[in-house]
Chains A and B, each alone.
Chain A
Amino acid sequence: MSENENITNLKNAIVDGDEIQAPSHVKEALDSGLDYKVILNEGIIKACEEIGQLYEKEEYFLADMLISGDALEAAIEVLKPTMEQASEKSVGKILIGTVEGDVHDIGKSLVSSLLQGQGYDVIDLGTEVPPETFAQKALENTPDIIGLSGLLTASISKMRETIALLKDKNVESKIIIGGGVVSKAACVLIGADDCAKDGWEGVKKINRIIKLEKRGVS
């Protein structure tokens, strides 16, 4: 199988959400001596971009995104040891969770798997995360970005409380709030750096912030 064919098969397997074939294509590519950077950039990240485009064109929906996310995670799992051997740093470190009093985790789980699939180091705190836990984990891990997720209208006030505590503890990470209830105005009001109405928008914004930070623009 040619290098191109292998990468195309990997990309298609991820887009189709095939969590059996996707890791097996990564293994084949590595066994054939393909550079892990090619596998990551041309296979995995390109697949992620295609999934996003399909979502934006309303050809893919949450269900498709989630199963593609699973295939992405399975693929990156096989690639990880090679990346670590090559002392490849993670793309960025993200701390994410649904705020206290909110049990909804679908958007957060989607962001978490799509980011992990792109080589991010994601610390997923789960749901109903108290402000104190966010602060403690942020101080321990110094993430680039902290994502606060919530679906309930009531979650906005908990996001505000969490952000206030993070700032009080001098956490310097950028903070993104996500969920159907968030808005630009709410974002400004509670002191977040940015907001995302759904999981895919969250992924795009996180990618943009990380790229800017790498270029030294904050």
Chain B
Amino acid sequence: MPHDWVQSALRLMNAMSGRMRKVDRVPYFALINEQMLCRVAGVTVKEMLSSPEIYAKAVIGSYEFLEVDTIQIPTSYAGPGEALAFAESNDKLDTIRWYDYKPLSIIQGAVCKTEEDIDKLEIPDHSKSSIWKISMEAANIVNEKTKFPQMFGLGIWSVVQELRGVQAFKDMRKNPELLLKLCEKVYESQLDVIKNWTEKVGFSPMIMLTGYSFNKHMMSFDDAMKFEGQFIKRLQEKIKVPFVFHNCGTTPYFKEVCKEIDFVAVHGSHPLDLDYWIKFKEMYPEITIMGANIDVSREMLTGTSQDVEEKVRDNIIALAPGGRYVCAPVCCLPWGVPLGNIMAIPRAIEKYGQYPIKIQ
């Protein structure tokens, strides 16, 4: 039976808004990156990114094969793609690393090695950037074929860290003004990329914001607000669509960040203690939980499909009643996780996730 993307989109939007009479079952959200797409589609990353048609076909085929309720182009995220755009526009192509079956990346810290690099850093013109051109064209094809609105991703600290590397953390103490200057440039670049996306693909119904600075083992909450949070607030003022907060780190400040910044949903897999998520739901009943404690490098990698099914069931029992819950393994589905364990998620949703939730 062909995948009904319109029904998937409605299921997701209604579940996130709490309009539960219109939701048949728990929606399933997954991030599928190049590593999985290439394997499913049988092409290398370079081949896939050589043509928007090949790219879109790989995306649609993979998401449908894995029975997910959402669909997006993995490079429609201003993280590694942004770092690449910065490398391109600052003549540092030698910092880019291509892999056959993995997302491309740049050598951390190589683009902004010195203070002068930051001062002279050119903000990319995204209309000319190779990766963005192909991503936007592929997103348009996916949109046209599925009618599923294409969501875009932004992130300040992830790009800062790619550009400045380990030195970014030292700058926090030794030269915070310099670091803020870099954050400001990344912010401006993010505004340019979303402007391009809106012009060429259309409004993103939501923004997936990767707030990677918001991790306890990385920095204090105050520092995270200073070097990323204030820029997220400014992005929200400019881009007037709902934001989803993503953090796939192991010590995220989910509860804290939701007090300071408006998000419609949080997407993460830590803490692994399900009670944290139950309390989160009590504390923020209007915020959708996407994920809870289904982590791709735990049961999914090392357990059996039965283990995964039980994990999904436990999450559904604890968080799905009343809605505003989206089942989601976190982070991207990696190659190496047994296929049976991946497919155990939609199977378990089918089995336990029908509304009204009847299992105890």
Contact = CB atoms under 8 A, between A and B. Distances in A.
- Judge: A and B partners, yes or no: yes
Interface residues of A, number: 32
B337 to A, nearest CB: 8
A27 interface: no
A178 to B, nearest CB: 12
A180 B332 CA distance: 14
Given A109-B166, A185-B302, A61 B223 contact: yes
A53 interface: no
A183 B298 contact: yes
A180 B106 contact: no
Given A63-B173, A103-B97, A180-B249, A153 B108 contact: no
A101 B99 contact: yes
B51 interface: no
B102 A156 contact: no
A133 interface: no
Interface string B316-327: 000000000000
Interface string B287-299: 0000000001110
A180 B255 CA distance: 20
B336 A17 contact: no
B108 A63 contact: no
A36 B142 CA distance: 67
A64 B173 contact: yes
A58 B172 contact: no
B22 interface: no
Contacts of B169: 62-63, 66, 106
A70 B170 contact: yes
Contacts of B97: 103, 128
Given A154-B336, A181-B297, A186-B302, A62 B219 contact: yes
A67 interface: yes
A105 B250 contact: no
Contacts of A61: 216-220, 223
Contacts of B165: 105-106
B331 interface: yes
Given A183-B302, A186-B297, A189-B302, A63 B105 contact: no
Contacts of B102: 101, 154
State the majority secondary structure of interface residues on B: loop
A81 B17 CA distance: 66
Interface of A, secondary structure class, is loop
Nearest to B218: A62
Given A66-B166, A153-B296, A105 B216 contact: no
Nearest to B336: A157
Contact of A185 (B216, B220, B223, B303): B303
Interface string B33-48: 0010000000000000
Nearest to B296: A153
Contacts of A188: 302
A70 B217 CA distance: 19
Interface string B166-198: 100110111000000000000000000000000
B296 A63 contact: no
A73 interface: no
Interface string B84-107: 000000000000010100100111
Given A63-B170, A104-B108, A106-B166, A153 B298 contact: no
A174 interface: no
Interface in A120-135: 127-128
Q: Count chain A CB atoms within 10 A of each CB in B102, B170, B303 and give the residue with the most.
A: B170
A194 interface: no
Given A62-B219, A198-B217, A103 B173 contact: no
A190 B16 CA distance: 38
A182 interface: yes
A154 B319 CA distance: 29
A74 to B, nearest CB: 14
A197 interface: yes
B280 interface: no
B62 to A, nearest CB: 16
B335 interface: yes
Contacts of B149: none
Contacts of B216: 58, 61
Q: Which of A62, A128, A153 has the most CB of B within 10 A?
A: A153
Nearest to A113: B166
Interface in A30-81: 58, 61-64, 66-67, 70
Nearest to A59: B220
A114 to B, nearest CB: 13
Interface string A142-153: 000000000011
21 contacts: A17-B173, A61-B218, A61-B219, A62-B218, A66-B169, A66-B170, A103-B97, A103-B106, A104-B108, A105-B166, A152-B334, A153-B297, A153-B334, A154-B35, A156-B297, A157-B335, A185-B302, A185-B303, A186-B298, A186-B301, A197-B217
Closest 3 CB pairs of A and B: A185-B302, A157-B336, A153-B334
